[in-house]
Structure 1
Amino acid sequence: MPISVQVTTGLLTIDGEREVLPLVADALLRVHGLTGNKFMTPNVVGHLVVSPEAHSYVGGQQQSLAVIEVKVPSVTFPNAEVKQAFVSEATDIIDRLKQGQHPRERTYVNGKPIQESALCSNQITCFLRRNASRRWIFIRNVVWDV
């Protein structure tokens, strides 16, 4: 499941820039009860983009900005509780790793749904899909019965 963390230069500490992706990935797995899952863990991937504040806008004004976006199938957040747990954890991670005066209200977390077929055709990563009482994992057009 691809994760993108976009922040303005200087928003995170140097250590924070190294730690943010592993922490957000852990949070995504944790809210789904998949911590330590040998299959899912290596399939949570991501990248950090650091942009100058002159390229970051909030309300039309150049300001510090943090955007965490996960590209996942719609079934990833099955209810509001799971989604809110992830949003809260991701926002807390930015708060812990920031340096200076970046307010929580300028940290945005978005679960961006993507077409299930896009995952397979673009060979991006894996996802879970529930079908009645069975759970299937699809990876690049290969089906694994779990």
Structure 2
Amino acid sequence: MPLTLTLTEGVLPQGTENLAIAKITDAMLKWHNLTGNETMKSNITAMIQVLPKSATYAGGKEFSGVWVEWKVPSFAFTDRDVQIGFGQDVTNIIYELSERTQPRENIYINVVHAVDGSWNFNGIAMTNEQITQAIAAN
């Protein structure tokens, strides 16, 4: 499940991006009751993009922002409590790692759902049912 962390240069102290990825991954697992599930954890991948301030905008003007985007099967992040709790956790993670300088209102989180059956999990195109079976077997 690819996680993309995009942020404006300087939002996080250099070198803490890896810690952000680890903490965001743990939060996702926690909110889906999958902490300790190695099958799920091994299928979470991540990419970090650090952009110059001249390349990040809000309202057409340069600003410093953070974007957290997940691409997941359609059964993930569907529960409202999960959405709210995960959003709060991630906002707090970024805020704390930024040494409390990144405004919370400039931390954005979104989820993109994949079409059922098109998800490549462990190297095989799987349906939601097949993925949940693989996770449950762990």
**Normalised TM-score (structure 1):** 0.81
Question: 5+ unaligned residues in a row in structure 1: which ranges?
Answer: 131-135
Whether contact under 8 Å (2:116, 2:128) holds in the other structure is: no
Identity of aligned residues (%): 30
The alignment status of 1:137 with 2:136, answered yes or no, reads: no
Please, what is the CA RMSD of the aligned residues? 2.5
Instruction: Using the TM superposition, give the Cα deviation of residue 51 of structure 1 relative to its aligned residue in structure 2, in angstroms.
Output: 0.2
Aligned pairs for 1:1-146 within 5 A: 1-99=1-99, 101-120=101-120, 123=123, 129=128, 136-137=130-131, 144=134, 146=137
* CA shift for structure 1 position 85: 1.1
Bigger relative contact order, structure 1 or 2 (CA pairs below 8 A, ≥6 apart): 2
2:36 counterpart SS class: coil
Q: Deviations over 1:5-24 (max 9, x none)?
A: 00000100124222111111
Q: 1:16 to 1:60 in 2, by over 3 A?
A: same
Measure, in 1, the Cα distance between the counterparts of 2:84 and 2:56.
25
The 3 A distance-change label for structure 1 pair 31 and 127 is farther
**Do the aligned partners of 1:73 and 1:127 also contact (CA within 8 Å) in 2?**
no
Q: Alpha-carbon deviation of 1:117? A: 3.2
TM-score (structure 2 length as normaliser)? 0.86
Which residue identity lines up with residue 14 of structure 1 in the other structure? Q
Query: Between Structure 1 and Structure 2, how many residues are aligned?
Result: 135
